[in-house]
Each structure stands twice: as C-alpha cells, then as structure tokens.
A and B are shown apart, each in its own frame.
Chain A
C-alpha cells in the first residue's frame, strides 16, 4: 500500500468549527471486499447489470423493515444543529461529513424514488437520480461515519445517522460493494470463531501463556480457562484482548477479579469474540448469526452467567440487542443481569467489599477516561440511566488516586468517537482515522496541559487500537492508552480475601 500523504490536523487552543472544504475527503474509501468474503456473507460478488433496480428495491425493503430509517429520511428539517457535531467533519472540513449532508446522500435518492415532491419536483427538494457516481459517493462517505451517534444526541428529532449509514452499507452489500475489512472479519468469525482468526488451540496456548506471566509476576495461580464446561461465567471479550497491547492487560485484570472473588469462569473457543461487525454493515441476519454463537457457547458450556469484556460496540450489541437476537436466556441465572458488563461485575464486587486494592500501585499515572461512543450513547451499565458514565469512573477511583475528567462537552453522552469505530479501523482509512481523532486529541491535550495527564483509559478494543495508532500523530506517546482493568490489575491485592 502506498504511504498515505496527509497533514495531521493542528491542535488549536480552543476547538474551532472549520470552514467547509468541498471534496476534501472525496478520495477516501476503504478497499472492496473480495468475492470470497462477499459469498461467505451471502452477498453478490460484483455489481450486477440491474444494480439500479436492486438498490431501489433494497431501499424500499429497508424502509418497510426499519421505522427509524423511514422516520429519519422524512423528518429532517435541515436546521443545521448537527452540522458541527461530527468528529470527521471537525477533523476533515469536508461538508459531506456533516451528519445531515451524509444522510442527504441517501435522502436525495429516497426523495426521488419514494416521495411525491421528489418524483415531480426533484430540483426543488434536492432529489437526485441514482447514478454510479451517487453509489460511489455512498461508498466513500458512508465509510466515513463511525456510527457513533453523537449527532443523534443533538438532533431535535433524534435522527440517528448510524441507522442511515447502516442501511446504506446494507444496500451497498446487496449490489456487491462490500467493504473488505468488515466482511473479511465476519467471514473469519463464521469459520474460526473470532475476528482475529485465532483458532482454538492457539487460544488455549495464549491463555496458558497469560497464566504463566501472571504467576511470574504475582506468584499466584490465577486461571485463564478455555472451554470449561460447568463454569459459572462465560466471558465473551473482544479477541484483541487475547494478545494485542494494551488490551491484554485488561484481560489479565478480568482474570484477577474473578480469581479474587472466587467466581469460576471460562472463555469459549466457539464464541471467542464479543465484537459483532454485523452491526457495522447493517445486516440484521449477519449480526444475529454472530450473536447466536454466544447463545450456543453458553448452552454448550452450561454456564449460569454471561459477562462481556471491555468493548464498545460489542457492549451495545450485547446490552441492547443480544436478548432480541439470541434470547430468551431463561436457562441462565436470573439473579444477574443478562448479559453483564465486566465493569458491572467489578463494581459490584467493590461495593460488596470483596476486593482489596493498593491504589498507590497506580500513583505513577495521571488518568483520564475516554467514554466509548457505543457504551455512552447506545447502552447502559447498572440500574440507572447514566450508569455507563458513573460505574467506570467509580472503579477507576477505587483503584487509583489521580483521576481528571476531560472537558464536559467531550465526555459522557457528548463524548467524541476515537475516530476508528463503526468498521473503519483499517489501514486503508488511516487518513480518516487520524483526522477523525482530532477532537478527542484536542480535549486530551487540554487535560495533559492542565493536569499532567499521562494515561488515557478506554473500555473498547477499537478505541484502544485506534489510539495506539493515532496518539503518535499528535505527539503523544503511543503507550499512553490503557485498559480500565489494567488499572484494576495493577492495584488488586490477590489472596487477601480467602
């Protein structure tokens, strides 16, 4: 691949809304999926001759299946409230990265073929004919949306560009224009069980390696079990947790928490992946197929609980969709939330006084926390709204002394996406990823300058990988990013509660 040539955005003293630069990111598009991967997912391998009819028919089908899409394409009044809310717009200045303009790419065709005004007065209402150029524009700009839903927070009608972008990608898949990164990964899950293509034996090896490392470090036999029938907890975690840095430090932390609380647990080689890229491509069928592997694993291993590791979109799929896609889970222990987030587990154990920490183990760190978009705006933790903000911070404060939040307009439901979510965490989109990280980097710089923050904690595998890659572009050290449970792992006192 040719080395990408682009300028890293400058971090200004105060956030600025850029003047628009038409076409600034028109060249950005991810690699197309190979025919083999299209086939694995049940999509055509190339653009059929009658693609126009297929696109319109597919759009019609989705309008009947998804009320959100129908309502969102009708109701936008072009008020402009969302125009300065997308991190990709703020980082690239391309006007088609304004949420409303992104939706309009699809809305213009919807109006032309499905509405009275667009059929008879297209110019008046901004309706356009479906052409190959339009389709190419969709491919480019619907792969410049990380489906983070920040725009939907600010829209007076709650119009969710993520829903529009998912529909667009599903339409593109239906005419053979799939995206390589997502579709290749989903195919890997079907064949091997996880995104990274880590087969069962390699997984067992990896977990044994982790056991040895933890034993060397602590002198204690903490187990990292695979496929143990009859364990209480099935842990489903993003496969990056098995060996990527800094993800694996989080997994080490989960194991220590379970060990200390005396909870028997296991991962499954069949469902060794919490991520579900079926959501990114808007395919209910594929998302369901991936989700059902978790149900199958839970039944096979006869577990009582399902716990999900640190991952943003995976938690959305698990929390908001799993019951729908793969439920009902009447065979699990109903005394626990189904599924439960690892932070809910750790937080609960802390409340019960079952864990002991030496907070000074994290004293070398001045910590800030990045709310991952799918956790912040598409899910919850605990029993009350906003628990997804409260619980992670309470756990951090229970295990570390130095915590500083970033500016309020950049955290909680206002959080900025890391720039790599929504199926865009691929090197062919590196320019987009670097530029899209700008608003988060800006907020980070502020706490670095004001509080000497030297550690950024995230609870999402994509955020962690994305920041490892993009932090250096903004002259921050790459290892500044860490897992929340790595902090827990540093501070937990093993063997104190027998």
Chain B
C-alpha cells in the first residue's frame, strides 16, 4: 500500500469518526439540556405539526433569512441547495450499482457545483465589502468560506478541466465503505479536494457548522405556542417547587 493511500485511508476513517462522534455528542447535549421556559418567537404555531411545518420552511426555504435580507438569502440559499445536489450526486461514489435517483440528478449535481461557487463567492464578497459584516467576521469566518470554495473549485476542475480517473476514485471510496482498501489515485487536484473535505468533516463538530443540527434545537423555532393550555416545566425548575 502506498504512503498516499495509507494517509488518505487513515484520514477518512479518522474524519468520519470525528464527524459522527462529535456531532452525536453535540446533539446529545442539545437534546438533553432543558429549555425551562416557553420562548417561541411569535406568532408561532400552536401545535406540534405546526412546528414541523415552520421548521421545514426554515430549513428548506430559509424563511426568516428571506424576510431579513434578500442578498444574503440569495447567496446562502443558492449555496446550500446546490451543495445538497452536489452531495447527492457524490453518493454514486459510495454505491454500486448506482441508485436510479442518483443517476437522475447526476446532470443537476454537476452544474450545481457552479451554484455553490456563485453563492459562496457572494457570501465572501459581502463579508469583505459590507462594513457591518466585516466588523463581525473572525479569520475563521473567511477561512471557512475559502475552504468550501476550494472544495467546490477542485471538484469542478476535475470535472471540466483536468479529468481525474473516476473509476479509480470510486474503487478507493467503495474500498473505504467495505473495509477493502484500494489504492488512492495520486492526482494532486484530487488529493487537495479530498484532504479539504476530510478537514471540513473534522472541524464540523467544533465550529459554526453546528448550525446544521443546532437549528432543530432552537427553542424560538421548535416550541409550540401553547403555554396556557399545557404546563411546561423543566426538571431543574420542578426541583425549586419542592422547597
């Protein structure tokens, strides 16, 4: 086994473990921390199904962001939706035979890469040129965008400029899935692409990328507005009543 193959194999198992364990740990923390008071931002739905509908609008349409700022919404929504399409397309590297649905979105998935770049570029430009957003940006905020821009750009390079050996790539990724290690193609662009993806997976649970699981636990968005109908009491608040 070549050194590159060893490193990338180890890297991906490590990154996957960090991502899964790290996010699971955070989800456990979010889920087990009580929200002692009813604080939905009103007007809010009064039922559980209403809350599901509100949350779906939030995570699929980015409803609040749309109300807030049309430019951020345009760039942010374009980036995220394009990213889902690209991620879905990449599932083909982890299955054989490729599912019909994945084959179906393959053409969309390819061009969605440009959508990602467009959205990310817009967000990056705003971070630099809008004074207020520049003020609130830390170095990591810029670097995070650059990292994902790098991932999208190297991906597009391999598709449209310097083709990589996708058959070999798929053999490598399938090998990871089935614990049957195959050689990693030593294509520099591919190596940058995959190293960046692994790095993103590693920092996911220790960075603002936690917004992805976090939004589902936001009490202002996931609580039903029914405090008069149903008494809401957290365990630590119930303790106070014993005194």
Chain A interface (Cβ < 8 Å from any Cβ of B): 17, 19-20, 63-68, 70-72, 74-85, 95, 98, 100-101, 104, 115-117, 121, 123-126, 149, 152-160, 163, 284-285, 288, 319-321, 323-324, 327-328, 337-339, 376-380, 384-386, 388-389, 413
Contacts and interface: CB of A to CB of B under 8 A. Distances in A.
B96 to A, nearest CB: 36
B211 interface: yes
> Which of B42, B69, B131, B215 is most buried by chain A, counting CB atoms within 10 A of its CB?
B42
Given A64-B33, A156-B58, 8 more contacts: A65-B36, A68-B218, A68-B220, A75-B210, A98-B135, A124-B143, A158-B219, A284-B36
Q: Which 6 A-B pairs have the closest CB atoms?
A: A126-B138, A75-B214, A158-B220, A154-B68, A385-B43, A80-B133
Given A19-B131, A98-B135, A380 B225 contact: yes
Counting chain B residues whose Cβ lies within 8 A of the other chain, the interface size class is: 35 or more
A337 B229 CA distance: 8
Nearest to A279: B37
B89 interface: no
A80 B136 contact: yes
A378 B135 CA distance: 30
Interface string B110-150: 00000000000001001100111101111111010000000
A67 B38 contact: no
Nearest to B45: A385
Highest count of chain B CB atoms <10 Å: which of A321, A323, A388: A323
A7 B139 CA distance: 36
5 contacts: A20-B135, A98-B135, A117-B203, A284-B237, A323-B228
Contacts of B211: 74-77, 156-157
Contacts of A71: 30, 214, 217-219
B42 A379 contact: yes
Helix, strand, loop or mixed for chain B's interface? helix
Contacts of B33: 63-67, 70
A115 B208 CA distance: 11
Nearest to B227: A320
Contact of A377 (B41, B203, B217): B41
A30 to B, nearest CB: 25
Contacts of A70: 29-30, 33
Nearest to A413: B43
Nearest to A150: B41
A426 to B, nearest CB: 25
Contacts of B69: 80-81, 154
Contacts of B35: 66-68
B232 interface: yes
A148 B189 CA distance: 50
A324 B132 contact: no
Nearest to B207: A117
Contacts of A75: 208, 210-211, 214-215, 218
Contacts of B136: 78, 80, 83, 95, 98, 100-101, 104
